[in-house]
Chains A and B, each alone.
Chain A
């Protein structure tokens, strides 16, 4: 019996020493070496791909989405949701729902998705205006109505079938920096009107900031909203 206790202790000791040695290799030396190389060779990327406007001021990261909102009526009220500033291109919704899931609203301090199912809030298998507040059905229906209303201008009526899926759904991270080219084009008339620019000018801006698939087949075409709005601001100020 004593012998087997001794054997077990020896084995545990060997396990502990193995773990400590491997912790030094994989948990200290390896990350430090990678950090050293990364900081030396890819300094910009390793530190978050900061994006600067014309004046050289850091205005965020090319990789992280932001909100473009009007000032709140009462800045001290945490309950009040700020309305979108329709002068700027708007990103995808980011409305984490409910107490269980994450309410990111493009804040990096907590990333995450709504985790709502496709039938969340559906009545008799359909999403309608009557969907219970806070459900995915309610979010999608309301977002669709808002996108149509916001983007229809005097000479340009948005039809429901023109609204792409990314305009009314939240992303996985809640930090999606991109929108689809379709959603960007949908916003062109509104943005042109609000900034006093010609539609052609804004159209060209969107085209210039539309990124195709990598090597022609990887991922999806997309528009970076921060880069687009930064360019829009420069254009409207000149």
Chain B
């Protein structure tokens, strides 16, 4: 069997697995966020928090709770790293410097997991499990909560009430993420992912004909429990520097496919949750189809360029295997790279900087689309719904009718909020990239020269502002400039859009529904899904095309 055929079969297996769990998981999540019942352990949690989980919040209250929880999280994670040197279970690692601790705290709370540190040389057991892995859960739950609040905005009328943030946060964590994580972690351990609390210890090596054998130093760690939520919560921060390329994080071809499945499963299933909650499953399918078409298109393009391997070094080598593991090959690496950059994950099983010029460009464009196909947990759905609003607005302009979506009028206020949302990340990416290129020192962090060097910096801010976290990792990002600016880009890129999403949700929930007429654009038809794909590609394409032309397009066309 050829590698290409095997790659296609892996893709089909992935689609089959995702399709199999789509309905049950999507319906389960709809029940979780719609149910009036609080389980007994949840009631204990609410009592400890001191919150009434049944109290409805309007959008400003919901937003304040999101921001308060996230601000506390940043501070807590920052302090935890700053005192690491004095904590037990830190493997002898010292406290993290202020700029790097800020960057890392912002990164994990913003669901980005950009890492300017080397995991195995910086973070002990306490920070990894008690700090970083906790944010892998709760930052994902916050994303889902905001997405559900927006869905409620479409589903509810004449109220302005969007649910209760504390209930959404706790339920998302304990009823959705935690059960899947426990099962997934055991599956990963069975494949060979390590799960222990050993210190750094010596292990024997191959003994040669002269009876000489050295030793290796192994890091212990609760890797499987962190690995699973890193993928499931579309976080992406590796326990080790090599992330999911490290054999202790991703040991076999099966674990590789399983991790890609974990990355994609919740974002795709949330479209079912959406359809269920707005009372029209077909609306969910239209969103699902839009996401699916973009994901398949990107996967096909990536496989094509990586198998064709244009590029001077690959011409000599005979294949684009630099930065890729033998057990995954081109196909398993390409599948992972597309899944991780079309969601907000940013975990890597191969190093994007060593992809072909076009391959690197595809990973960048995936993030620049706003990570909505299928996107991060929660953030993918709300990002896609914003684009859906913009698509009906454009369609409305064409025919001269007031646009409507799901029975809600898209008026001046709504379209302003949606426009603000889509302007945030491009503004952050392009301004910070321009600043980094204009200043004398940041360029000194580049490993590669020419177009690829520029790509390293463009990639860094694209990844930060879109909360992805992957990198063209030749860039030495542990400088005060990059730690600070990428830290700011991650926080603004995460929480500013949430402000607009929740404001939009509040404004939609207050409206009374508009009855559907013969002139209403049907948003559950293939025509609309096509319009949506076009809107996404054109808006992003026009925004980023000049920057992409200087980086990956220049590199790819020269190869």
Contact = CB atoms under 8 A, between A and B. Distances in A.
Interface of A: 8, 11-23, 25-28, 30-31, 33-35, 37-39, 41-42, 45-50, 53, 57-64, 66, 68, 71, 85, 87-88, 92, 97-98, 100-102, 107-122, 125-127, 136-137, 140-141, 144, 161, 163-166, 168-180, 213-220, 222, 226, 229-230, 233, 236
Given A26-B133, A37-B186, A172 B320 contact: no
A220 to B, nearest CB: 4
Given A33-B182, A64-B247, A19 B138 contact: yes
Contacts of A34: 182, 185-186, 189, 195, 222, 224-225
A166 B321 contact: yes
B131 A27 contact: yes
B242 A174 contact: yes
Nearest to B41: A25
A47 B195 CA distance: 7
B45 interface: yes
Given A115-B474, A119-B357, A222-B327, A26 B138 contact: yes
Contacts of A236: 209
Contacts of A137: 312-313, 316
Nearest to A222: B326
A110 B247 CA distance: 13
**Interface range on chain B (Cβ under 8 Å from partner):** 35 or more
Given A100-B475, A218-B257, A136 B313 contact: yes
Given A11-B68, A111-B245, A176-B247, 17 more contacts: A19-B72, A25-B178, A26-B178, A27-B131, A27-B133, A31-B225, A45-B194, A66-B205, A68-B208, A71-B210, A110-B120, A114-B474, A140-B316, A169-B317, A171-B326, A213-B1, A219-B256
Of B10, B170, B325, the most chain A CB neighbours within 10 A belong to B325
Contacts of B51: 14, 18
Nearest to A104: B242
Contacts of A15: 65, 68-73
A48 B218 contact: yes
Contacts, number: 405
A171 B323 contact: yes
26 contacts: A15-B65, A30-B178, A31-B129, A34-B182, A35-B222, A38-B185, A41-B189, A50-B203, A92-B326, A114-B354, A115-B323, A116-B448, A117-B311, A117-B360, A126-B312, A127-B313, A127-B315, A140-B322, A144-B317, A172-B325, A172-B348, A174-B242, A218-B332, A219-B253, A219-B254, A220-B329
A48 B256 CA distance: 17
Contact of B312 (A49, A71, A118, A220): A118
Given A35-B225, A45-B192, A171-B325, A117 B448 contact: yes
A15 B253 CA distance: 41
Nearest to B447: A100
Contacts of A108: 120, 216-219
Contacts of B166: 14, 18
Given A14-B51, A31-B133, A219-B327, A98 B447 contact: yes
Given A11-B64, A38-B186, A38-B189, A168 B317 contact: yes
Contacts of B133: 26-27, 31
A107 B449 CA distance: 28
Nearest to A177: B247
B526 interface: no
Interface in B251-283: 251-254, 256-257
